[in-house]
Chain A
Amino acid sequence: MISKVKHIHAFTSIKRERALPVAGHVLVRRMQKVSPSDVIVVAPLVPQFILLDIAQGLNVKPTRADELLQRQAGEDLVQGDVIAGPVGLFQRVVRAPLAGIVKMAGEGKVLYEISSPEFELQASMEGTVTNIIPERGAIIETKGALIQGVWGNGKITYGVVQPVSNDMLQELVVEQLNIGFRGAIITAGFCKRPEVLEAAGIVPIKGLILGSMSSALIPLAKKMDYPIMIIDGFRETPMNRAAEAILIENKDKNIALNAQELDTFLGNYPEGIISQSSTTEADLPSEAETLKVGKKVIIINGPKAPQIGQIDKIIAGKQVLSNGVGTRLAEVGLAGEKRVVIPLTNLEIIKD
């Protein structure tokens, strides 16, 4: 059986697309080195339009209104500019209510795009631009540590990673959130109390990486101003050992935290990237591999999640679980424990 690879790598090649869904102006060039705050592309993400009924404004028929137009498609407008007219005894005119650019004019109407604030899409990671996506953005590549999550609250940041303790076994509590964590991206085992998320916002921290979190906190976590990424799932268990080791190893280093929402169809996972300048070669990680004896795996669901072990045996044929469900099983050796039997469907491959 083929399994998805859960990306938790101490050192790997990372390639990401940073692009907008609308056309804009790309500000970087190929092979340019970028830092997380560098702007890749700017565009009015949600352009605003005004449709003016010139014929009605001038109180004339549409054909006559077209004759009275003073501006054509492509022309800039400043607020108060006369678009059409004058006409009639009182020299009636239609003026631009706001600044913008005429997009269409005719049949007695003018459609123009008003100036709206431009959205700046930042690189959000360190790396090198290896390709330009015309009018949309760029492909950025780097090498370093990669930690993939399963849930994010949709926010992005960049900052110094600071574990709140020497391991990620424990629950994050308010007492741990001291002023020393101000501006840091903190990491901890799990969180189950709303006051902790609120207190973290008051410090304020820059971001939060948790092994797991109580699902009751989802609505509050979505409201928090800082990014929150959950690595393993919704429960009250320590962070998986592989992610924990990477985060402790990289204490005080910069991490690009993209707590985007999970979208398996687009392949968008929340993730943290810790870029490392190294001449060591690294391949892009594989996305899927066959579950077989000797593979390192993480248990993704059930009471043993998120423990990491190695497949010792894949049991032949379909087996029956204690609840009667029939499925393929593997014997997985966990650190310091005897073997456990887990359905193949509840395993993902994790790389050394």
Chain B
Amino acid sequence: MDKTTIASKSVITVDIGSTVTRSLFFDVVNGKYRFIAVGTAPTTAGVPHFDVTEGIWRSLEELQFITGRHLVSEKDGVIIPSTPDNQGADIMVATMSVGKPISVVTVGLLDTVSLQNARHLAQTTYANIIAEISLNDRRTSSDRINLLIRKRPDLIIITGGTNNGASHSLLSILESIGLSSYMMAENQRPHILFTGNEQLQDEVKSGLEKISKLRIAPNIQPVLGIENIHPAQKEINEVFKEIRAKQIGGISEVISWTEGSFTSTASSFGRVIRFLSEKYEPEKGVLGIDIGSDATILAASFNGEETLRVFPNLGVGSGSAGVLEKNSLELIKRWMPIELPDQEIQDYIYNKSIYPSSLPLDIEHLEIELAVAKQAIRYATEQTIPGLQKQLGAGGTLLPYMEPIIGSGRILTLAPKRYQPLSVLLDGLQPTGVTTLALDQNGLLSGLGAVAESNPLLTVQVIESSTFLNLGTIIAPLGVARPGTMVLRVQINREDGRSFTRDIKYGSLSVLPVDLGEKVSLHLRPLNRFDVGMGGPGKSGKVNAVGGVFGIIIDARGRPLQFSPDQEKNRKRNEAWRKTFSKYE
């Protein structure tokens, strides 16, 4: 057993979100780590407090009230480590997503190669790319200097050149970066992350180290066509922390309380998804989606290889106007089962952006929020699919087979009805083949990711303690047919020997009644050359499944979901889908 594990038993994880700060408490119960309780409070990074510690303190006080365990004291702050009389906790870790996206300028040699790598790296954190510099852009050195001075980025990511590859061209761009940094006031100079040709590292150090906050990571593309993003990802996470410590009050205290175990929520979320993939069935892809007030995070892992995408200003609170601006009102409305005037929907979304903590008072406005959540997830998924397909050496436009898929975020966990998170995840992600859709009902994922590095046993044991709510096993056959055509025959064999068969028509959404936790064996026989992930179109197979809250769900609506230009038809269809689930609530 890990030495850290023996020494540390109780753990507090704190997640500082853009609207809410959550403190989770884990402890050893009957020899195993268990999640005990959560305390929440409004985040206090902005007006009027400008200090995150106030929100952390209040969330810990709530946690203290729930657990009856003394966790904070006026005199000592957070009580770390725990005392012999069971006060405080042994370890505290923290994650953070609050704050404006960091502004990034990406620099590379070629738009389609190294700049693409730099973009991928920037997309693994809460960042907005505000400008790009490459050899293709035909800017002079003076233009580059003036661009950087005008934009004043928080971070410049420099990529380019395989190891042993191009160097001269990159050096000319580096000169502009160095001169522009030199011309800025010292406290306004950007962080620089160099992750290009490793042979240039010494020259980069000698040229930029004294005039900028320089970090160097292994080449993101050591060999043409191979992207090695993870070492640079660690560095960008460190840069994120440094920038946030400068921008937001109280971060240095958090770093002190956690003894440095402090990371971005996205990084931690990505880590736990990778951890799940490695720990359980590495050959299967695990997918996690976290939809927050301001940002959406999508993380996937195949064989321990992680894909992480962060979408700032794409959320259900302060980021809801971003969902509208990145998409359109029509794309949001298509998910709504009720009719509302366009203006009312749009006004509600903008008001939600201004007042992200405010709550919908009626079902109509709740439906707007759920529709925004679906479109945010849809947008994030569509943007991520090409990268996932490339990782698998494929080129499809649909979400690859993933098992399981876990959804996180307060819009899902606090939804009044269980079918609401199921519907948001199913419509937004549009999974394919056979998978399990689970809900991170206590919002533990990012906290578990933060703990995983120092105490993997806690992460394993808490995950094994049924922390995720199984919403249902999803079977989504792929293919094209006329609506009403038979596309799948499913035989469900229960453990007690009983069985039943269902014929599934194209365009339908069905729930097969299997109790929560009940183990069944499914025999899937696709018809009309449909594909359920059994090795190709038309191939049958057996799969073991466990019933979720909604048993087993056969989603034969097609992929991607098709919508009518007639909104009324879409509304009626959404209403029908909702009824399919709500009768099992």
- Residues of A bordering B, CB below 8 Å: 1-2, 4-5, 21-23, 46-51, 53, 103-104, 111, 113, 150-151, 214-216, 218, 233-235, 262-267, 269, 286-288, 300-303, 305, 320-327, 342-343, 345-346
B164 at the interface (CB under 8 A from A): no
User: Mind listing 29 A-B residue pairs with CB under 8 Å?
Assistant: A22-B185, A46-B149, A47-B183, A51-B145, A51-B176, A103-B183, A151-B354, A215-B346, A215-B350, A233-B347, A263-B100, A264-B47, A265-B247, A266-B46, A301-B358, A301-B359, A303-B361, A305-B351, A321-B361, A322-B361, A322-B363, A323-B363, A323-B416, A324-B417, A325-B359, A325-B416, A327-B359, A345-B357, A346-B359
CB of A51 within 8 A of CB of B142, answer: yes
Q: A262-B354, A265-B99, A302-B360 are in contact. List 15 more A-B contacts (CB 8 A).
A: A4-B48, A103-B183, A235-B347, A265-B45, A287-B49, A300-B358, A303-B361, A305-B351, A321-B360, A323-B363, A326-B414, A342-B361, A343-B361, A345-B358, A346-B361
Point out the residues of chain B lying under 8 angstroms from A151, CB to CB. 354
Closest to B55 in A: A2
Residues of A within 8 A of B350 (CB): 215, 218, 233-234
The answer to whether the Cβ of B146 comes within 8 Å of any Cβ in the partner chain is: yes
- Assuming the A-B contacts A49-B146, A267-B47, A288-B49, are A323 and B358 also in contact, with contact meaning beta carbons closer than 8 angstroms in the complex? no
Q: Separation in Å of the B149 CB from the closest CB of chain A?
A: 6
Partner of B50, one of A267, A305, A322, A327: A267
Q: Please count the residue pairs between chain A and chain B whose beta carbons lie under 8 angstroms apart in the complex.
A: 137
Nearest CB in chain B to that of A235: its residue: B347
The answer to whether the Cβ of B566 comes within 8 Å of any Cβ in the partner chain is no
Cβ-defined contact, B355 with A233, below 8 A: yes
Kindly list chain A residues whose C-beta atoms are within 8 Å of the C-beta of B481: none
Q: Measured between C-beta atoms, what is the minimum distance from A135 to chain B in Å? A: 9
Structural contact, A215 and B417, CB atoms closer than 8 A:
no
Q: How far is the CA of A326 from the CA of B40 in the complex (A)?
A: 14
Number of residues on chain B facing chain A (CB within 8 A): 47
Contacts of A326 in B (CB 8 A): 414, 416
Measured between C-beta atoms, what is the minimum distance from A344 to chain B in Å?
9
Which A residues touch B416, using CB under 8 A? 320, 323-326
- In the complex, what distance in Å separates the CA atom of A52 from the CA atom of B77? 57
Residues from chain A with Cβ under 8 Å of B76 in the complex? none
Residue among B146, B354, B357 with the highest chain A CB neighbour number at 10 A: B354
A50 to B180 CA separation, bound complex (whole angstroms): 11
Q: Is the CB of B145 within 8 A of A301?
A: no
CA distance A264 to B361 in the complex (A): 24
Q: Which residues of B contact A (CB under 8 A)?
A: 42, 45-50, 99-100, 140-142, 145-146, 149-150, 152, 176, 179-180, 182-183, 185, 188, 247-248, 343, 346-347, 349-352, 354-355, 357-363, 365-366, 414, 416-417
Bound: A41/B350 CA distance, A = 35
Q: Would you give the shortest CB distance from A133 to chain B, in whole angstroms? A: 13
Q: Which residues of A contact B343 (CB under 8 A)?
A: 214-216
With both chains docked as a complex, state the minimum distance between the C-beta of B312 and any C-beta of chain A, in angstroms.
Answer: 13
State how many angstroms separate the Cβ of A266 from the closest Cβ of chain B. Answer: 8
Return the contact of A104 from the options B45, B179, B359, B366 (Cβ within 8 A).
B179
A104 CA to B47 CA in the complex, in Å? Answer: 42
Docked-complex contact A346 and B46, CB < 8 angstroms: no
A214, A215, A322: residue with the most chain B Cβ atoms closer than 10 Å: A215
| Known A21-B152, A23-B185; contact A288-B176, beta-carbon cutoff 8 A | no
A323 to B338, CA, bound (A): 14
Complex partner residue of B188 from A21, A287, A324, CB under 8 angstroms: A21
Of B185, B343, B350, B363, most buried by chain A (CB within 10 Å of CB) is B350
Residues of A within 8 A of B100 (CB): 263, 265
**Contact at B361–A323, with CB atoms within 8 Å?**
yes
Q: Is the CB of B176 within 8 A of A325?
A: no
Q: A151-B354, A343-B361 are in contact. Are A48 and B346 (CB under 8 A)?
A: no
Q: Is the CB of A287 within 8 A of B142?
A: no
A5 close to B351 (CB less than 8 A): no
Q: List residues of chain B with CB within 8 A of the CB of A262.
A: 354
A287 to B51, CA, bound (A): 13
> Are the C-beta atoms of A234 and B351 separated by less than 8 Å?
yes
Tell whether, in the assembled complex, residue B42 and residue A2 are in contact, meaning their CB atoms are under 8 Å apart: yes
Whether B142 contacts A321 by the Cβ 8 Å rule is no
A216 touches B183 (CB 8 A): no
A213 CB, min distance to chain B CBs, angstroms: 9
CA–CA, A47 and B358, complex, Å: 43
CA distance A47 to B363 in the complex (A): 53
- CB of A345 to closest CB in B, whole Å: 5
What CA separation (Å) do A208 and B484 show in the bound complex?
57
Report how far A164 CA is from B198 CA in the complex, Å.
Answer: 67
> Which chain B positions have C-beta within 8 A of A264?
46-47
- What is the CA–CA distance of A22 and B150 in the complex, to the nearest angstrom? 11
